[in-house]
Structure 1
Amino acid sequence: MAKPMTKAQLVSAIADETGGDKKTAGAHLDALVAIITREVSQGGAVTLPNVGKIYCRERPERMVRNPATGEQIKKDADKVVKMTIAKALKDSVNEE
């Protein structure tokens, strides 16, 4: 598996793709992250076309097992962030 792209590499790639400078590309990336974070933390969802949908899901209270002791513990209800990958992205990964 290849190493994940860093933020600096992503900002540079955005600047190259759009023909802009890195400072503007970095500001746009930061704004996008802030919008996604705000929307998902308020219980909404964000769809990135041809990439996927990011959303928050509530998990009910449940019993879990402590791997060290094997003891059953009740875990409170919580929320998790999920992402459903778009079919277009899945298809592009599986092309040969």
Structure 2
Amino acid sequence: MNKRELVDTISDRLGSKKAAAEALDAILEAIQNAVAKGDKVAITGFGSFEKADRPARTARNPATGKPIQVPATSVPKFKPGADFKNLVAGNK
């Protein structure tokens, strides 16, 4: 499912594609901004989003075998909630 299909699904409940698109954009923007600041966003029954820091490390170029330095970085991390896990596993 892509963003357009998600907007279509939400619009079936809200009655308006414009309202659904604005709501989805607002939710995604709020989650992205909070995680970028370092806050954890937890949605009960769905999961949590947070910022994870990856330390600098030495890796190897697979083509040459030469070591390269990979800089430290921050990445978004998602951990699904119990209800979401059960739904995907078919237990619910």
- Confirm or deny a common fold (TM above 0.5): yes
Identical-pair percentage: 36
C-alpha distance in structure 1 between counterparts of 2:7 and 2:74, whole Å = 30
TM-fit CA distance, 1:51: 1.5
Deviation string, structure 1 residues 54-95 (Cα, Å, up to 9, x no partner): 111111111111111111112111111111111111111112
Among residues 66, 69, 73, which one is paired with 1:78 in the alignment? 73
Among residues 49, 54, 65, which one is paired with 1:54 in the alignment? 49
| Structure 1, gaps ≥5 residues long | none
2:7 matched residue in structure 1: 11
TM-fit CA distance, 1:20: 2.2
C-alpha distance in structure 2 between counterparts of 1:19 and 1:61, whole Å = 46
| Structure 2, gaps ≥5 residues long | none
2:37 matched residue in structure 1: 42
C-alpha distance in structure 2 between counterparts of 1:82 and 1:19, whole Å = 29
TM-fit CA distance, 1:24: 0.2
Q: How many residues align?
A: 91
Kindly provide the amino acid, as one letter, of the partner of residue 37 in structure 1: Q
RMSD, aligned CA: 1.3
Kindly provide the amino acid, as one letter, of the partner of residue 10 in structure 2: I
**TM norm structure 2:** 0.90
Deviation string, structure 1 residues 40-60 (Cα, Å, up to 9, x no partner): 111111112212111111111
